[in-house]
Structure formats: structure tokens, C-alpha cells
Chains A and B, each alone.
Chain A
Amino acid sequence: MTTRDIVFTAVGAVTALSALLSVTTKQVVHAALWLLVCLGSLAGAYLVLGQELVGLVQLLVYVGAIVVLVLFALMLTRAPIGPHAEIDTPWWQRLAGALLGAATTALLASLLLPLFSGATADLDTPTTTTPQVAQAVFGTWVWPFELLSVLLLVALIGAFAVSRLVLHRDGADGADGARHPGTVSSGARSDGRG
């Protein structure tokens, strides 16, 4: 049990506990906030494992962007404040979910723990430093990296197109041709407002 083992156990306990709270709490907004704690302490776990770059990207992208997006989505869908029993499935379905989750953990642990038993990483002389990661990203992995930027662009445009999608509930005026000019003017109006 080295010092890094003890530090990782502490950080990992915080991560696991906050993950458990984020899936079991009855308050919708608290779930997103516990997710923030979980992802932040997971960034700490990456730091303990010696991957500073991954830890910082985790902080920037997950904690800085994804959790904020989740919070915005909760606000835009009028999440109830305070304890709310309606966000969970019935108890028998939760019991089945707990059994399946425990089975997943047991399966993965029974596979991974023998695989990693006795394996140690000497992080004082690390094998993968940040300059090496940078050289790998822009050397070996440069084409997947460029493809990912295209993926991000496609996701951005796709999300914009989906959020422009108008599903009529009062389908009396549902013709496509009549719909599109209105949609465009709606976009222009919101641009001017923002």
C-alpha cells in the first residue's frame, strides 16, 4: 500500500459515492450536481494516475461543458425543485436495475481484477508523459483526430437542425411548405433578440 494507493482510494471513494448519489437522489438538480462532484473527483483520479492532460481535459469538457449542458437541459424542461418521486421507475424495476448493475460490476470485476492483479505502474518515472501524448495525437493518431473535429461539427449542425425541428401538435397547418418560411423567420427573430 503505497502513498499513491492511499490517495487513489480516497479519491475513488469520493467518486463512487457521488456517482451512487447522483443515480439515487430524489431531487433532479441534485443529481446533476452530484454528477459534477463525481466527474471532478474522477479528474483527480486521472491526476493520481499520472495523466495530467486527460485530467485537465476531463475538467474542461465534462465539468465545464457537459454538466452545464445537463443543467441547462434540466432548466429548459422545467425540472421540479425539491424531492420528486416521479423521476424514478417503480420499485420492482429499480430492483431489477440494481441487480443488473451489481451483475455488471461483478462481471467486470471478475474479468478485470485478475487481469490487473499484481500489475503496478511506476509513476515517478512515467512511461507516457504529456509531450509523448501530444506527439502521438499529432503523429500516429492524426487522422482520427481530424475526423473527430468533423464529428464535432456534424454534431453541432445536427443538434441545431434537430432543435429547429417543429413537431406540430395542432396539425391543421401542418404542410411543409407553409412551415419553412415561418421557421426561418423564427430563427431570425431569436437571433436578433439574442
Chain B
Amino acid sequence: MIHLSLPAALSALLAGIGVYGVLARRNAVLVLVGVELILNAANLLLVTAGSRPGAPLSAGPVLTLFVITIAAAEITVALAIILVMFRRTGHIDLTAVPDLTDDEPDDAGDVDAEAPRADDRDGHPRDAVREPAAAGEGVG
């Protein structure tokens, strides 16, 4: 026998910690860590509610499995977007002033650092921008 107010309290605590994590981080990947904590609070609440006697249709555990699947899909797409942002701007700082200019290259270093190697290989400077895509597809 277990008192269900304990997991309910843990769920509330995890949700609060997740909200703090989303608001207190600048690194985009660490914001996602906060989002994962909120999702897990929801999962724990579903399991808790599902283990009350008389819960119909096994809804608690089944919906928890569904939420876990949706979280996997969500984080895949989110990390792909973060990698595109890193290739475009050179950082994943969410509080940085966005660079809205269209064409001129800015000062973020790591993409430019690969330019000479790509130039030597086949002489197209724009391969320097495309090169990290090969790394990105391993995550996507």
C-alpha cells in the first residue's frame, strides 16, 4: 500500500523545477532539459492517477507511454532546429540579440574556420556552411 499524495507532491515539485530550468537557462539545450522535467512531472501524475483503484481503461500507464513517445519526437525535432541555429549563428544563446541582417557574414568563428579546407577540396566557398550538416544528420 502506498499513499498517493507522495507521488503527487513529487510531481508538483518536478514541474516547478522544470519551470525554473526553462526560465533560468540561456543555453538552448539546457532549456530543453527543463522541458523534459515538466513532461516527466506530467508522466508521474498520469501514473499516480492511473494507480488509484478503479481507474478505467488502463488510461494512466497507456497515456504515459504515449507522452514518452511524443517527448522523443519533440526532442528530435527540437535538437535538429538547435543544430541549424548553431550552424547559422555560431552559438545557441537564446538571449542574444538576433541577427536579422540578410547577407553579410558576421563574426561567429567556427563555421568560418572550416572555410580553407573546403575551398581546397573543391573550390566552392559555400561548402563551408554546408559541412556541419553531415554532423547534424547523426542526431536528426
Contacts and interface: CB of A to CB of B under 8 A. Distances in A.
Chain B interface SS verdict (over half):
helix
Contacts of B84: 162-163, 165, 167
Interface in A140-189: 140-141, 144-145, 148, 151-152, 154-156, 158-160, 162-174, 182-183, 186-187, 189
Interface in A1-52: 2, 4-5, 8-9, 12, 15-16, 19-20, 22-24, 28, 31-32, 35, 38-39, 42, 45-46, 48-51
Contacts of B51: 49-51, 121, 123, 126-128
Given A151-B70, A163-B137, A169 B4 contact: no
A57 B65 CA distance: 7
Range of interface residues on B (Cβ < 8 Å):
35 or more
Contacts of A66: 36, 71-72, 75
B65 to A, nearest CB: 6
Given A12-B7, A137-B65, A152-B69, A167 B105 contact: no
B16 A102 contact: yes
Contact of A169 (B53, B59, B111): B111
Interface of A: 2, 4-5, 8-9, 12, 15-16, 19-20, 22-24, 28, 31-32, 35, 38-39, 42, 45-46, 48-51, 53-54, 57-58, 61-62, 65-66, 69-70, 72-74, 76-79, 86-89, 93-94, 96-98, 100-106, 108-109, 112-113, 115-124, 126-128, 132-133, 135-137, 140-141, 144-145, 148, 151-152, 154-156, 158-160, 162-174, 182-183, 186-187, 189-190, 193-194
Interface of B: 1-27, 29-30, 32-34, 36-37, 40, 43-45, 47-48, 50-55, 57-62, 64-66, 68-77, 79-84, 86-88, 92-93, 95, 102-103, 105-106, 110-111, 124-127, 129-140
